[in-house]
């Protein structure tokens, strides 16, 4: 039995369907991220789980017990909010202590627990400070300690790092993961930042327009997107609209150039497919104008975007444009205007059938 289960959870706001009846099951101690763009329903789902909102239909189960109608104060779920949520009239210690006082713990137990948790989030020295005396990152650490103090069955985090600067964000997300692993607490984390979700989660659920597009491990989500949306949303992806020409070798025709894609093998000849190629898998060789060996595209370097260790290149070919990520030292050798041959290992490309992409098929079923 799963620790937390969302069954057919549906929520509408007037004519807008925020959640189309989602199903998610989490095992005990699992870290799941709900990832998606603004308005995809991820925060709505989290608020339903926390009890701040009621679903139109569907159920929320924790250890098999139906929590759908249980008020938030009795759900035993700790929550860290996107906005700074510390009580301004209380010090960091008093904030962490709040939930323990509600539960009627004695003063010595409370003091010990508060000290332990502030130490856990690295703020053992700042217990006497009030929220206005703490930086944004420190406030969110205290909020995390406060949520953990009540030893919740589930920890819910609603974009807790979005108001922080990039460096603190990275540091704090690693700490959240460390603490989660240390305590083994089941965690649901809402974010629109794919890097954040992929770097700290056991599994990621990608949401779009109130539906779950795909649930899987970060490697599965990144490496094997199941829908065009996931392919577009996670990382950068080249989309090559092609036609299967030789099912036995996995050959496709992309704008007149024949390319080999392993996953095409066995598909019927003439089928229109969407070949997905990650920019970092594209290999570039300098070559003569207009000609390219078999399995390669003749391209021209159109632009360079410096990203640090990696440089992103925009490539122009007769069938369209591609993006390639190469090491910055390599990029210096192929300046803008260079004619080159672009290829990718046949095993690295993914495939989606153009006639009926997964999300489109579901849209039709839904209507």
Partner 1 sequence: MSRRPSLSALAWLLLGAAYFVVPLAATAEFSLKGGLSRYSFAAYSSFLDDPQFRETFWLSFKLALETIAISLVLFVPTVYYVHLKLPRLRPVMIALSLLPFVVPPVVLVVGLLGVYRGAPEWFIAKPEGFLVAGYVVLSFPFIYWSLDAGFRAIDVHTLTEASQSLGAGWRTTLARVILPNIRAAALAGAFLTLAVVMGEFTMANLALFNTFPVYINYIGETKAYPAAALSIVSFAITWIAMLGLLFVGRGRGRRVAQAESAVMT
3-state helix, strand, coil in the chain (%, to 5): 30, 35, 35
For binding to partner 1 (CB under 8 A), which residues are involved?
50-52, 71-79, 81, 83-89, 98-99, 102-103, 131-136, 139, 143, 146-147, 150, 156
Query: Least separation, in Å, of the C-beta of 206 and partner 1?
Result: 26
Query: Least separation, in Å, of the C-beta of 6 and partner 1?
Result: 18
Query: Least separation, in Å, of the C-beta of 168 and partner 1?
Result: 11
Query: Least separation, in Å, of the C-beta of 62 and partner 1?
Result: 14
**Is the separation of the CB atoms in 20 and 10 below 8 Å?**
yes
Indicate the SS3 state at residue 176: helix
Query: Would you say 145 or 273 has its CB closer to partner 1?
Result: 145
Query: Would you say 49 or 282 has its CB closer to partner 1?
Result: 49
Query: Would you say 46 or 299 has its CB closer to partner 1?
Result: 46
The strands making up 310-317's β-sheet, listed across from edge to edge, are 283-286, 339-343, 297-306, 310-317, 320-327
Query: Least separation, in Å, of the C-beta of 110 and partner 1?
Result: 13
CA distance 214 to 93: 41
Q: Name every residue whose Cβ is closer than 8 Å to that of residue 366 and which is 6 or more positions away in sequence.
A: 20
Query: Would you say 34 or 242 has its CB closer to partner 1?
Result: 34
Place of tokens 């035993």: 76
In this structure, is the dihedral angle defined by the CA atoms of residues 204, 151, 57 and 7, taken in order, positive or negative? positive
Query: Least separation, in Å, of the C-beta of 94 and partner 1?
Result: 10
**Is the separation of the CB atoms in 259 and 275 below 8 Å?**
yes
Of the candidates 282, 280, 275, the one whose C-alpha atom is nearest the C-alpha of residue 239 is 275
Query: Least separation, in Å, of the C-beta of 85 and partner 1?
Result: 4
**Is the separation of the CB atoms in 127 and 113 below 8 Å?**
no
CA distance 45 to 156: 11
Query: Would you say 95 or 214 has its CB closer to partner 1?
Result: 95
Query: Least separation, in Å, of the C-beta of 135 and partner 1?
Result: 6
In this structure, is the dihedral angle defined by the CA atoms of residues 73, 209, 25 and 60, taken in order, positive or negative? positive
Element (H, E) at 279: none
Query: Would you say 158 or 251 has its CB closer to partner 1?
Result: 158
Query: Would you say 126 or 242 has its CB closer to partner 1?
Result: 126
Query: Would you say 80 or 299 has its CB closer to partner 1?
Result: 80
Query: Least separation, in Å, of the C-beta of 87 and partner 1?
Result: 5
In the chain, where do the E strands start and end?
4-13, 16-26, 31-35, 57-62, 65-66, 77-80, 154-158, 186-191, 203-208, 211-216, 238-246, 251-254, 257-260, 272-277, 283-286, 297-306, 310-317, 320-327, 339-343, 350-353
Query: Would you say 56 or 76 has its CB closer to partner 1?
Result: 76
């Amino acid at each position: 039995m799963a620790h937390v289960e969302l069954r057919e959870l549906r929520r509408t706001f007037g004519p807008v369907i925020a959640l189309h009846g989602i199903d998610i099951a989490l095992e005990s101690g699992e870290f799941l991220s709900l990832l998606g763009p603004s308005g995809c329903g991820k925060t709505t789902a989290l608020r339903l789980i926390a009890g701040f909102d009621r679903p139109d239909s569907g159920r929320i189960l924790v250890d098999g017990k139906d929590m759908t109608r249980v008020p938030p104060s009795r759900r035993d779920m700790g929550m860290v909010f996107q906005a700074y949520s510390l009580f301004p009239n209380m010090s960091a210690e008093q904030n962490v202590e709040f939930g323990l006082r509600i539960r009627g713990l004695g003063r010595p137990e409370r003091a010990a627990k508060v000290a332990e948790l502030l130490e856990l989030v690295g703020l053992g020295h700042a217990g006497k400070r009030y929220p206005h005396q703490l930086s944004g990152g420190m406030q969110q650490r205290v909020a995390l300690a406060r949520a953990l103090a009540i030893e919740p069955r589930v920890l819910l985090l609603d974009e807790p790092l979005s108001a922080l600067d990039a460096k603190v964000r990275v540091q704090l997300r690693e700490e959240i993961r460390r603490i989660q692993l240390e305590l083994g607490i089941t965690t649901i984390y809402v974010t629109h930042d794919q890097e954040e979700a992929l770097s700290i989660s056991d599994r990621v659920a990608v949401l779009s327009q109130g539906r779950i597009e795909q649930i899987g491990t970060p490697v599965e989500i990144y490496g094997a997107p199941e829908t065009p949306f996931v392919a577009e949303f996670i990382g950068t992806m080249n989309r090559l609209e092609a036609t299967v020409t030789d099912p036995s070798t996995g050959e496709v025709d992309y704008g007149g150039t024949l390319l080999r894609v392993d996953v095409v093998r066995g598909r019927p000849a003439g089928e229109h497919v969407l070949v997905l190629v990650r920019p970092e898998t594209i290999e570039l060789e300098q070559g003569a104008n207009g000609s390219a060996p078999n399995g390669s595209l003749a391209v021209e370097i159109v632009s360079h975007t410096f990203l640090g260790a990696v440089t992103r290149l925009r490539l122009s070919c007769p069938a369209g444009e591609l993006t390639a990520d190469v090491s910055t030292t390599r990029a210096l050798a192929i300046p803008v205007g260079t004619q080159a041959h672009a290829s990718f290992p046949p095993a690295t490309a993914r495939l989606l059938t153009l006639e009926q992409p997964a999300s489109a098929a579901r849209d039709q079923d839904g209507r």
